[in-house]
Amino acid sequence: MRSRGSCPGRGSELRVSIAGGGIGGLTAAVALARKGVEVTVFEQGAGPSRAGASLDLGPNAIRLLDALGLGSAREVGVRPDAIELLRWDDGSTLLRAPHGAPAEKHFGAPLLDFYRPDLHEVLLRALPQDAVRFGARVHAVEQDGAQAEIVLADGTRVPSDAVVAADGIRSPLRQQLVGADEPVFSGTVVYRGLAEKAAVEELHPDRVNRYWLGPNRHAVAYWIASGELLAVNAAIRDADWARESWTDEAPPEEVLPAFEGWHEPLLERFRRCRLFLRGAVFVRHPLEHWSFGRVTLLGDAAHAMEPFQAQGAAQAIEDAFVLGECLHGVPSAEVPEALTRYEQIRMQRAEEMQGSSRAAADTLYLPDGPLQRERDERYRTLLDTHPWGHRQPLWEHDVRAALG
């Protein structure tokens, strides 16, 4: 039984329903509850799940978690001491950017790497116990000028002043609001593996995040779960398999043939993972609007993106923080205007991240040749202008500046 969170949560005049209990939906719930909003999350899963893999959150997201009083995330996240970009075949270093305490001082928050279920638990513990309803699938939303009403799959109707669709890339609420626009397969399949510390500590003894870059492939290894698990992830861009799932299991033997001839220490990391979770990467085209009266979109439901800037979860957290600020102190009659303000603050930033994430893949996956050599040369001099590495501008952005 998780302990009761410290959010005020109940007793506010404003009631908000959130469809989806992922990172974006739960962070939005915390942000709203911190403002005294009566918030309920409807999650179709039967209960908190320990299934999942890894993610990293840049300082742009960690600053916001800190501001929401979620500093306990640091207890389960791992702060890397450095980031290394390596050549695919021999592991030679293309770029080594220091991190650790100096980077945290520069950005005002660290880069942290997480086991996804650990971060979910931090968010759940920050909420009142009755704020999340599991086993509740949101089927539709209806609204008039006075209120919105979510309709659950069992027919239950829940009136609200605002509804937030944080129900993922195949959001049924998005489909209802903007019409059938199927997610688009990006051509990339991602494998997310985990290895126990005892199995890989001699292979990866330090807290350095390592990225291997090669033709139509890349891989990454970094510590998560307070340093007890090594995340070993691989992405294959020219895949012909396309099923959207983050729970399909695959053995190392499925991953290894795609990386034949790659750096042997990377391949050994693959072998020491018991299994991988396999998922095709789908994206969404940008929308003209996220907000429709008293209903708005958040996270992947609004702006699903490729994972090559590690900004998917971070952008959902930025959405959640801004949403909380925009609805703070707003009377029910002014909710549509507040949701429009949230959209106006967030859409351009999210669309830029969608574009830069897509462009990052082109840079990472260059085949050996002139363009690859030009890229590697840029990496060799990058620290002269970006001492914390290639994602420094993304991490320096603080969404709070746009709130005025």
Residues catalogued as catalytic: 222
Q: Taking Cα atoms as reference points, which of 250, 254, 307, 299 lies closest to residue 276?
A: 250
**What is the dihedral angle through the alpha carbons of 372, 376, 377, 382, rounded to the nearest 10 degrees?**
140
Query: Looking at the DSSP assignment, which residues form a beta bridge with residue 205?
Result: none
- Backbone angle region of 229, left / alpha / beta, with phi > 0 → left and psi within -120 to 50 → alpha: beta
User: How many contiguous H segments (helices) and E segments (strands) does the chain have?
Assistant: 14, 19
Which residues 6+ apart lie within 8 Å of 377 measured at CB?
none
380 — phi, psi (to 5°)?
Answer: -65, -25
Residue by residue, DSSP assigns 222-252 as: EEEGGGTEEEEEEEETT-------SSEEE-H
- Other CB atoms within 10 Å distance of the CB of residue 348: 11
Tell me the Cα Rg of the chain: 21
Which contacts of 144-148 are long-range, i.e. CB under 8 A and separated by 24 or more positions? 146/332, 147/294, 147/332, 148/17, 148/293, 148/294, 148/295
Buried b (16+ CB within 10 A) or exposed e, 9-44: beebebbbbbbbbbbbbbbbbbbbbbbbbbbbbbbb
Strand 291-292 to 295-297 pairing: antiparallel
Residue by residue, DSSP assigns 151-206 as: EETTS-EEEESEEEE---TT-HHHHHHH-----EEEEEEEEEEEEEHHHHTTTS-S
Cα distance between residue 137 and residue 175, in whole Å: 15
Tokens of 212: 């291997």
Residue pair 290/305 in contact (Cβ under 8 Å)? The answer is no
Helix (H) or strand (E) holding 270: helix 264-271
Residue pair 319/24 in contact (Cβ under 8 Å)? The answer is yes
